[in-house]
Structure 1
Amino acid sequence: MPAPRRRGQVRDALIFTGPFVAAYLVLFVYPTARMVLMSFTDAPLVGDGGWVGLNNYFRLGRDALFLKSVGHTFYFVALTVVPTTLLGLLIAMGVLRLRGALQRIALAAFFLPYVLPVSVVYRIWEWMLDPQFGIVQYPVRLIIGHPVAMWADPLWAMPSVAFITIWWTNGFNVLLFVAGLRNISQDVLDAAALDGARGSARFRHIVWPLIWPVTALVLTIQLILQLKIFDQIYLMTQGGPFNSTYVVVQYIYRQAFQSNHGGYGATVAVVLFAVIAALSTLQFQAVRARPA
């Protein structure tokens, strides 16, 4: 390739990628590096602090509230990641059975909650779960005989937040699965039908392997999102009752912004960042292979 042409291509590449690279360095790499450095100090949220080395990290192993918040976070992940993925796939398959305007209306109905801000979601469910007037309390009375203050009961608080989160965010998963299912060639499905593959057999041997890459993507996205759970917990339960819904990001918020322990808060944030990066990478590598 002639040198002038190559230089032109390099120049064009720098012009197109330069703004993104600059924004990435300024908005992600630099703050991340500063957070990691801050985690080795006893600095307040704003200002410098003394170097304490690995003391903050050693302190985490003795911090009962931090360990409890880790357990609650993984409990929330267990309640949401796999259920919302399977539910999204089932809804997508049901929506694609519809035709014309009815399909578009159903898809819009499932996606609508996803566009709502968390404050609106909180208000909707605060009314629906109200122990005296909430419409959800009617079936609860029929099942267990009395109303339940969901967000004030340690047994029900986390499952109720998990259920609301699935209701709120599952529309995005449905869209991904709809796109994946539509990408399956009709010729493949017709050929499977000619070979006698119908119903569950067609799903198990044809649809499931072909939709698996999308499933792996949805599982990874959900894992990352749910490990960072904060908004719903902060608005609905504030970590209660009795710290039964206290999660890691809320602990970071408490240490950094409420207690002004910036260095220790940064330490927790670094650990969470590392856990999310490691688990999401391992999960994606584990599930990216097609199922047998």
Structure 2
Amino acid sequence: MLRNRRTELLTAFVLVAPFLAVYGWLFLYPTFQMIEMTFLKAPLIGEGKWAGFANYAKMFRDPVMRIAVLNTAYFVLLTVIPGTIVALSIALMVRRLKGFMQSLILAAFFLPYVLPVTVVYVLWDWMTNLQFGMLQGPIALIAGEPTNIWRTTGWFMPGAAILTIWWTNGFSILLFLAGLRNIPAELYEAAELDGATRWQMFTRVTFPLLWPVTVLCLTIQLILQLKIFDQVYLFAQGGQTRATMVMVQYIYEQAFQKNNGGYSATIALALFVIVLAFSLFQFQVLRVRSVK
């Protein structure tokens, strides 16, 4: 039995070893290198000098860093929960359709998700153009006049949030639709026989059974939106980049534009810790809810 146990362990190690080697080479080693760089005053490539906790002290005193953190948090508030609610609402409506019409509407909602960010940028830059943009009508009703939302600080983040929800919600819609299809129809029939309204069916049957999918969508969206960069970087070009700065954009600026490898690594590590902390928190919420 001992020999068989050793054989099983050896076989398991041989099978897992390639993955561990690649994981260590492509993730663990760069991570340790990045952590080491946070203690150095160094360029992005090349030798650096030991700086201790100077980069961390600088990060906590940096006013631009505070703006980047607040803008990132604001963007997350505008996108994660609202985007998940929109995706769930659309999935509930699409589920009521049948056959070809359901496939057509679902494809229409999913199409933006497969578009590259450059195409999304060109589309929305055209639709919000101050001279001929088709969205300037609704914008003028709210603002009182045609407004270049990408050059107006108060409009920039809400505009980027609406763009992002439109762009990325297709995947969440698919997840919710898959979850809805896994709910047995007998539960709705039993609830209908008991005289339950549609709202009661949703709150007592649909949403509790969709809770794992909801937390999954929230977690995916949270991680994605904390790393917001592309759309903010593209639309902020030539404008007030400091006022709309987000964390990944600040990392990019410090690393590739100012060649501050040590300080950019410190900001990147802070973002990594934030993403990890929120992911673990949401996992704990799911576990507690599942136990109940």
Please state whether the residue corresponding to 1:223 is helix, strand or coil. helix
Partner residue in 2 for 1:164: 163
Distance in 2 between residues matched to 1:75 and 1:143, nearest whole Å: 21
What does the per-residue CA deviation read over 1:78-101, in whole Å, with 9 as the maximum and x for residues that have no partner? 100000000010000000000001
Distance in 1 between residues matched to 2:183 and 2:17, nearest whole Å: 37
What does the per-residue CA deviation read over 1:5-60, in whole Å, with 9 as the maximum and x for residues that have no partner? x4554454345433322221111111011000000000100011111111110111
Partner residue in 2 for 1:58: 57
Distance in 2 between residues matched to 1:200 and 1:23, nearest whole Å: 49
For the 8 Å contact 1:82–1:219, the answer to whether it is kept is yes
Partner residue in 2 for 1:95: 94
1:221-236 alignment runs, 5 A limit: 221-236=220-235
More helix by share: 2
What's the CA shift for 1:198?
2.8
1:47-126 alignment runs, 5 A limit: 47-126=46-125
What does the per-residue CA deviation read over 1:236-267, in whole Å, with 9 as the maximum and x for residues that have no partner? 11494262210011111111111011001101
- The alpha-carbon distance between structure 1 residues 228 and 242, as it changes in their structure 2 partners (threshold 3 A), is closer
Partner residue in 1 for 2:146: 147
Distance in 1 between residues matched to 2:122 and 2:18, nearest whole Å: 40
Q: Partner amino acid for 1:234? A: Y
- Whether 1:279 aligns to 2:281 is no
Distance in 1 between residues matched to 2:6 and 2:194, nearest whole Å: 56
Partner residue in 2 for 1:45: 44
Gaps of 5+ in 2: none
Please state whether the residue corresponding to 1:61 is helix, strand or coil. helix
Distance in 2 between residues matched to 1:217 and 1:174, nearest whole Å: 12
Q: Partner amino acid for 2:226? A: L
Distance in 2 between residues matched to 1:152 and 1:18, nearest whole Å: 52
What's the CA shift for 1:134?
0.7
What does the per-residue CA deviation read over 1:190-215, in whole Å, with 9 as the maximum and x for residues that have no partner? 22222222300010111111001111
Distance in 1 between residues matched to 2:81 and 2:9, nearest whole Å: 44
Gaps of 5+ in 1: none
Partner residue in 2 for 1:258: 257
Distance in 2 between residues matched to 1:143 and 1:189, nearest whole Å: 41
- The alpha-carbon distance between structure 1 residues 239 and 270, as it changes in their structure 2 partners (threshold 3 A), is farther
Distance in 2 between residues matched to 1:240 and 1:211, nearest whole Å: 42
Q: Partner amino acid for 2:204? A: H
The TM-score, its normalising length taken from structure 2, stands at 0.94
Q: Partner amino acid for 1:185? A: P
Partner residue in 2 for 1:3: 3
What's the CA shift for 1:186?
1.4
Partner residue in 2 for 1:244: 243
For the 8 Å contact 1:35–1:270, the answer to whether it is kept is yes
What's the CA shift for 1:61?
1.4
What does the per-residue CA deviation read over 1:67-122, in whole Å, with 9 as the maximum and x for residues that have no partner? 11111110000100000000010000000000001011111111110000001100
For the 8 Å contact 1:154–1:242, the answer to whether it is kept is no
* CA root-mean-square deviation: 1.8
Distance in 1 between residues matched to 2:18 and 2:154, nearest whole Å: 49
